Structure 1
Amino acid sequence: MGLAVGYALNGLVLGALYVLVAVGLTLVFGVLRIPHFAHGVFVMVAAYLTFALVVAMGWNLLVAAPVVIVALGLLGLVLERVVYRPLGRSGELALMLAAFAVNQFVQGGFQKFFGQEYARQVSFPLDGSVSLGGVTLSVQRVIALVVALAATAVLAWAVRHTKFGRATRAVAEDPDAARISGINVDWVHRWVFVIATALAGLAGLLLATFVPITPFLGDQPLLVAFAIVVVGGMGSVVGATVVGLALGVVESLLAGFGSQSWSSAVVFLIIFVALIARPNGVQGARV
C-alpha cells in the first residue's frame, strides 16, 4: 500500500508538470484557436536557458527562475507578433502549419547547435526529504508540485475573477462581439501568448532539474498536453488540471507496477476510451 501511495505522489508531481504545459496550450487554443505544435519547444528552450544560467554562469536557481520565466514570456510575445498575428485571418490550417514550422525550425536549430553528445542537467539547490503519511518525497519533488499547482491555481483564479480573465473569456466565446463591445482583442491575444509561454518556461525550468536536457525534451510533455487538452475539454483550464493530475498518477502507477515502456501506451488507450465516452471532454469547451 505504501508503495502505491509513493508512486501516486510521484505521479502527482509528473501530472502537475504536464498541467503547466497543458493549461498554456488550452489557453492558446481556447482564445486563438491555434493548435500550438510549437508549445513544446518553449519547454526545451527554458530548460537550456536554465542550464546556461545555473551551470554555465553559476547563478542560483532561485535567481535564474524569474529570468527564465520572463524571457520565455517575451519569446511568446515575439512569436505572436511576428508569426501568428500576420496570419490571423488566414485560417486555422495556416496557423497550424506555422506552429509546426516554428517547432521544426527551433528544434532543428538546437539540435544542430548543441547536438546530443552528453546529457545536460541542472542540480536542485536544496537537499532533504519530506515524509507524508509514511511515504518519503524529496524536497525537490515537493517544491515542484507546490509551485506547479500554485501557478495553475493563480491562472484559474485570474481567468475567473479579473478584468483580463473576463476579456479572455469574451474573446474565446466570440472575438467579433468582444471587439464591438470595446475589448482590445489584440491585447488579449498578446497576453495569452505571454502567459502560456511563461508557464511553459516554468515547466522547462522544473523539468531541467529532473531529466536530461536534449532538443527533444518538450516532445513528450507536448504530446501528453494535447491529450490532456482534448480529454479535459478544449479551452478548459479546470478540465486540463484534473485530467493532467489523473494521467500523471496513472502513468506513474503503471510504470511502477508494470513496465515503463507500456505505461504511455496504456495511458493513451485510456484517453481513447475516455473520448469515446465523452467526446466533448470532461469540462466541455470553455476557458
Structure 2
Amino acid sequence: MYTQCPECMSVFAVDARTLAQAHGFVMCGHCGAGFDSISTLADQLPPEPFTELPSHEPGVEPPHVELVVYRPKPETEPDAATSETQAAQDAFADLIVTPRFAREQRDTRARRWPWVLACVALLLGLCAQLAWALRDTLVADPTVGGMLRQACAALNCRLPEVRDVAQLHLLARDVQTHPTVPGALLISATLRNDAPFTQPWPVVTIRLSDANGKVLAMRRLNPYEYLDDTEQLRQGLPPGASTALIFEVEDPGRKAVAFDLSFE
C-alpha cells in the first residue's frame, strides 16, 4: 500500500502495522510534516508520470465489511443492551486515543519544565550576586539609585551606605583660639553633600603646617569623635544637605600658620 505527503508530495510505501500504530496518522520522513495517510491510501501506484494520488473523501456512512475471516465464540452470550454499550465505549475510546508521537512530545515538555525552572533560579541568583557586587555603583547612579530608593521607601527597607568623598565639598572653614580651653584651637567647617544619595559621615583629617608647608600636627577624627548626636550619626548626611562641624585640636604653637581638612 502507498500513501502521499500533502506538503512535499513524497510517496511512501506503508503496511498495516504502520497504519495501526497511530490510526493512520504518520510523520513524513522527508519534510517532517504530520498527515493522515489513509486519505491518500492506494493499493497500487497509478501509471507514471503522476503528481498526486487520488484522495479518499470521507463517506456519509462507514462501509460495511461482510467477509468474516475469524470470530471467537464468547463463553457467555451478552445481552443486546450490554453489547451496544460496550460497542459505544470502544468507539469512543478509539476517538480519543492519543497518537504515540503526541504523547512523546507531551512527556518531553513535562520533563523539560524542572530544568527550565532550575535555569531561571540560577539566573536570578547570578543577577542577585552581581547586583550585590556592584551595589555601590548602582546606588550611586542617579537613575538606578533613585529607583532603588523609591522601591526601598515602599518596602520599608534601607539601602546599603555608599561613600563618595569626591561629592563632599567644603564650603567654608575657620580656625581660632579655643575660648575656654587653654592651648587648644577651635576649627569650624561647613560641609555639603552634593551626591544624589545619603552618605555616611566621613573620617576628617586635619593638618596644621608652618609657612613652608611642613606638617606640624595632624589629627584624624572618626565621626563618633566629632558628632554627639547618635541619631544624626546613624542617619548619615542626606543628599544636598549642608552642615557645620566643630573640631577641637591641640595648638602646636605659633609656627602653625595654615591648616587643611580632607575627608575619607
TM bin (shorter chain): under 0.3
When you count strand as a share of all residues, which structure comes out higher? 2
TM-score by length of 2: 0.18
* Bigger proportion of residues as helix: 1
Given the two structures, how large is their TM-score scaled by the length of structure 1? 0.17
Greater relative contact order, per chain length (Cα 8 Å cut-off, separation 6+): 1
Structure having the higher Rg = 2
